[in-house]
Amino acid sequence: MTVRVRFAPSPTGFLHVGGGRTALYNYLFARNNGGTFILRSDDTDEARSTDEFRADILESLRWLGLDWDEGIEAGGPMETYRQSARLSRYQEVVAGLVADGKAYYSFATPEQLDTFRKEAMAAGKSPAYDGSLEPSAADAAARVAAGESATVRFAVPRPGSTVFDDVVRETVTFDHAQVEDFVILRSNGTPTYHLASTVDDVDFGITHVIRGEDLLSSTPKHVLLTEAMGAHRATYVHLSLLMGPDGKKLSKRHGHTAIKAYRDEGYLADAMLNYLALLGWSPGDDDTVIALDEMVKRFDLATVSKNPAIFDTDKLLWMNGVYIREMPAADFVDGVRSLVEVDLGRELAADELDTLGEIAPLVQERAKLLNEVPAQVRFLFGDIEYDETSWNKVMTKDGAAEAVAGATEHLTAVGEWSVEAVEAALRAMLAERELSARKGFQPLRVAISGSSVSPPLFESIAALGRERSLDRLATAASRMV
């Protein structure tokens, strides 16, 4: 049997990190098995679904590099992969179920249901509605014929129970006393999530339903529905949820939850994927940094962990640094160029691009976020701006003025302007003035870059050029008196 899995977000919000992980696990499982990865849009909630969210989900998935084989915008054997376009099919299924006596028209009002549930709870019993408030079949038929509006509920066999083997949770049992006669068709004729999602899974030939644990208790409904349709149930896989640092459900107040927010902050898709993969799965062999194709080879649903994972950005940040350092130098420059240009508010000239190329490898070693880069290279492309804290800490110390004066003297004498020549000149200055490297170079760093933290000094000076470097030393000297 060929594996067919789907990622079926509902466009009622941005693709968040938990959704990204679910998509990734579906992708890994499909690729590992030579199966098909399908993208579907579970947009039965018209009121909350928007095109903005639909676009965000596609864009986020593409950014991550999780390409799907079939579904939204990719096409495939099905006519459509949007639930909002499959209304008639759902109504057809519901009609069949009603005809078979597996579902019924329900006239219970919200108030009646509310009372039913409250009373059940007060009695310490399950609040699951069992259909006991409904009229006889004949009455129901008459009322429907008379045009009275009603929902359609699935008739859960009672007594009974549903048992299924979840790949990560093993055998799970639900007594039907806990499963209510759930609504499958709203009174306005639209399907509920349970119906639409299950019908799609059946129609699309989904073999493995890999989704969040929040749907675990809905699974008996899906199993019942599937079997009522005369179909074979899928294998279910419920992934634990992602939590915030305080152990509570991950939400906005913990920081960013949207995948795209991480892209915008300067995270790399590969780092994101690697980090997300490790939240609930381990490739074994004590490996931590692992590429997508390697994950595909080693992925195994049976080893996915059962417990919720906390989304910890410290580790993500570290991992992003690892991936930045692993980037080919040219890719790094490409990735950072537009950020630098946005920061400067203008495009980089050809010679400035060369300068960026020169300094980039040194910055690449240090960055953990792409977005940190502009601030680190800004001194090369604009006027000097002093960080006052740095200035006060460094330029008021003994020897600072002497270092600047000495550097001016020695650098003026440099012939060919190169990293080596600059270093030789400055080290000679140190020896002559009997200054330690620390005391002698920090003032120069502040004079050149404006900050006590910068890319390596000699390279920075070499990249800045003779004129501008000497100019900055002069500016600093005059500011010090």
Partner RNA sequence: GCCCCGUUCGUCUAGCGGCCUAGGACGCCACCCUCUCAAGGUGGUAGCACGGGUUCAAAUCCCGUACGGGGUACCA
217 binds RNA (CB under 7 A): yes
151 binds RNA (CB under 7 A): yes
321 binds RNA (CB under 7 A): yes
State which of residues 50, 126, 371, 475 lies at the interface with RNA (CB under 7 A).
Answer: 126
Phi/psi of residue 166, nearest 5 degrees = -85, 135
Site string for RNA, 420-449 (x = CB under 7 A): ---x-------------xx--xx--x----
Peptide bond into 159 cis (omega under 30): yes
C-alpha span between 43 and 68 (Å, rounded) = 18
List of residues 6+ apart from 181 with CB closer than 8 A: 104, 106, 128, 129, 130, 131, 153, 154, 155, 156
Residues 158-187 that bind RNA (CB under 7 A): 169-175, 178, 180, 182-183, 186-187
Residues 186-205 that bind RNA (CB under 7 A): 186-188, 192-194, 197
127 binds RNA (CB under 7 A): yes
Q: In what order do the strands lie in the sheet with 161-166?
A: 70-71, 36-39, 4-7, 208-212, 235-239, 161-166, 170-175
User: 387 or 481, CB closer to RNA?
Assistant: 387
To the nearest whole angstrom, how small is the minimum distance from the Cβ of residue 351 to RNA?
A: 23
Q: Residues binding RNA: what is the number (CB under 7 A)?
A: 91
To the nearest whole angstrom, how small is the minimum distance from the Cβ of residue 425 to RNA?
A: 13
Site string for RNA, 292-311 (x = CB under 7 A): ----------xx-xxxxxx-
To the nearest whole angstrom, how small is the minimum distance from the Cβ of residue 271 to RNA?
A: 12
List of residues 6+ apart from 481 with CB closer than 8 A: 401
Q: What is the CA radius of gyration of the chain?
A: 32
Alpha helices in 299-387 (DSSP H): 313-326, 329-344, 350-364, 373-381
User: 47 or 350, CB closer to RNA?
Assistant: 47
To the nearest whole angstrom, how small is the minimum distance from the Cβ of residue 302 to RNA?
A: 7
320 binds RNA (CB under 7 A): no
To the nearest whole angstrom, how small is the minimum distance from the Cβ of residue 247 to RNA?
A: 5
State which of residues 326, 456, 466, 480 lies at the interface with RNA (CB under 7 A).
Answer: 456
Do the Cβ atoms of 158 and 177 come closer than 8 Å?
yes
To the nearest whole angstrom, how small is the minimum distance from the Cβ of residue 307 to RNA?
A: 3
To the nearest whole angstrom, how small is the minimum distance from the Cβ of residue 379 to RNA?
A: 12
Summary count for the chain: helices (H), strands (E)? 20, 12
Do the Cβ atoms of 243 and 250 come closer than 8 Å?
yes
Residues 385-414 that bind RNA (CB under 7 A): none
Contact range with RNA by CB under 7 A, out of 88-96, 125-133, 396-404, 465-473 = 125-133
Residue 201 token pair: 């899974």
State which of residues 3, 133, 215, 348 lies at the interface with RNA (CB under 7 A).
Answer: 215
List of residues 6+ apart from 159 with CB closer than 8 A: 175, 176, 177
Asked about 252 being catalytic, the answer comes back as yes
Q: Please give the torsion angle defined by the CA atoms of residues 68, 73, 75 and 78, in that order, rounded to the nearest 10 degrees.
A: 100
Which of these is catalytic: 118, 249, 252, 297? Answer: 252
The DSSP result for 388-426, as a single string, is HHHHHHHTTSTTHHHHHHHHHHHHHT-SS--HHHHHHHH
State which of residues 79, 92, 214, 432 lies at the interface with RNA (CB under 7 A).
Answer: 214
C-alpha span between 187 and 259 (Å, rounded) = 36
243 binds RNA (CB under 7 A): yes
Contact range with RNA by CB under 7 A, out of 63-71, 108-116, 342-350, 466-474 = 108-116
User: 10 or 355, CB closer to RNA?
Assistant: 10
Q: Which residues pair with 16 in a beta bridge?
A: 258
Residues 347-376 that bind RNA (CB under 7 A): 365-368
Question: Which residues have a catalytic role annotated?
Answer: 252
